[in-house]
Amino acid sequence: MQYVSTRADASAASHSLQQFSDILLGGLAPDGGLYLPVEYPQVSGEELNKWRHMSYADLAVEILKKFAGDIPEADLRALAHKTYTADVYRNVREGEKAADITPLRVLDETEGKQLVLQSLSNGPTLAFKDMAMQLLGNLFEYALAKQDAQLNIFGATSGDTGSAAEYAMRGKKGIKVFMLSPHKKMSAFQTAQMFSLQDPNIFNIAVEGVFDDCQDMVKAVSNDLEFKARHKIGTVNSINWARVVAQVVYYFRGYLAATRNNEQKVSFTVPSGNFGNICAGHIARQMGLPIDKLIVATNENDVLDEFFRTGVYRVRKSAETYHTSSPSMDISKASNFERFVFDLVKGDGKRVRELFKKVETEGGFDLSGAPGSDGDEFKLVANYGFKSGKSTHADRVQTIRDVADDYGIVIDTHTADGIKVAKEYMEPGVPMIVLETALAAKFNETILEALGQDAERPAGFENIEALPQRFEVMPADVSKMKAYIAANTGL
Ligand SMILES: Cc1ncc(COP(=O)(O)O)c(C=O)c1O
Ligand SMILES: N[C@@H](CCOP(=O)(O)O)C(=O)O
Residue 120 Cα to ligand 1 midpoint, Å, equals: 11
Nearest CA to ligand 1 atom 9: 274
From 160, 326, 336, the mutation candidate for ligand 2 (largest count of ligand atoms within 8 A of CB) is 160
SS3 291: strand
Residue 446 Cα to ligand 1 midpoint, Å, equals: 17
Mean pLDDT of the chain: 96
193 C-beta closer than 6 A to ligand 1: no
Alpha-carbon distance 86 to 98, whole Å?
5
328 C-beta closer than 6 A to ligand 2: yes
Residue 279 Cα to ligand 1 midpoint, Å, equals: 12
Residue 184 Cα to ligand 2 midpoint, Å, equals: 16
pLDDT tens, the chain, 491 aa long: 999 999 998 766 555 789 999 999 888 999 999 999 999 999 999 999 999 999 999 999 999 999 999 999 999 999 999 999 999 999 999 999 999 999 999 999 999 999 999 999 999 999 999 999 999 999 999 999 888 788 999 999 999 999 999 999 998 888 999 999 999 999 999 999 999 999 999 999 999 999 999 999 999 999 999 999 999 999 999 999 999 999 999 999 999 999 999 999 999 999 999 999 999 999 999 999 999 999 999 999 999 999 999 999 999 999 999 999 999 999 999 999 999 999 999 999 999 999 999 999 999 999 999 999 999 999 999 999 999 999 999 999 999 999 999 999 999 999 999 999 999 999 999 999 999 999 999 999 999 999 999 999 999 999 999 999 999 999 999 999 999 999 999 88
Domains and CATH numbers, the chain: 100-126+242-451 (3.40.50.1100)
Q: What is the pLDDT of residue 11?
A: 65
Three-state SS string over 28-94 comes to CCCCCCCEEECCCCCCCHHHHHHHCCCCHHHHHHHHHHHHCCCCCHHHHHHHHHHHCCCCCCCCCCC
- Which residue type, as a one-letter code, is found at position 52? R
Nearest CA to ligand 1 atom 15: 328
Alpha-carbon distance 271 to 329, whole Å?
8
155 C-beta closer than 6 A to ligand 2: no
User: What is this structure's pTM?
Assistant: 0.97
Residues catalogued as catalytic: 129
**Dihedral, CA atoms, 33, 35, 37, 40, nearest 10 degrees?**
-80
What percentage of the chain has pLDDT greater than the value 70? 99
Classify 115 in phi/psi space as left (phi over 0), alpha (psi -120 to 50) or beta. Answer: beta
SS3 101: coil
Q: What is the pLDDT of residue 124?
A: 97
- ipTM of this complex prediction, to 2 decimal places: 0.99
**Dihedral, CA atoms, 56, 61, 62, 63, nearest 10 degrees?**
90
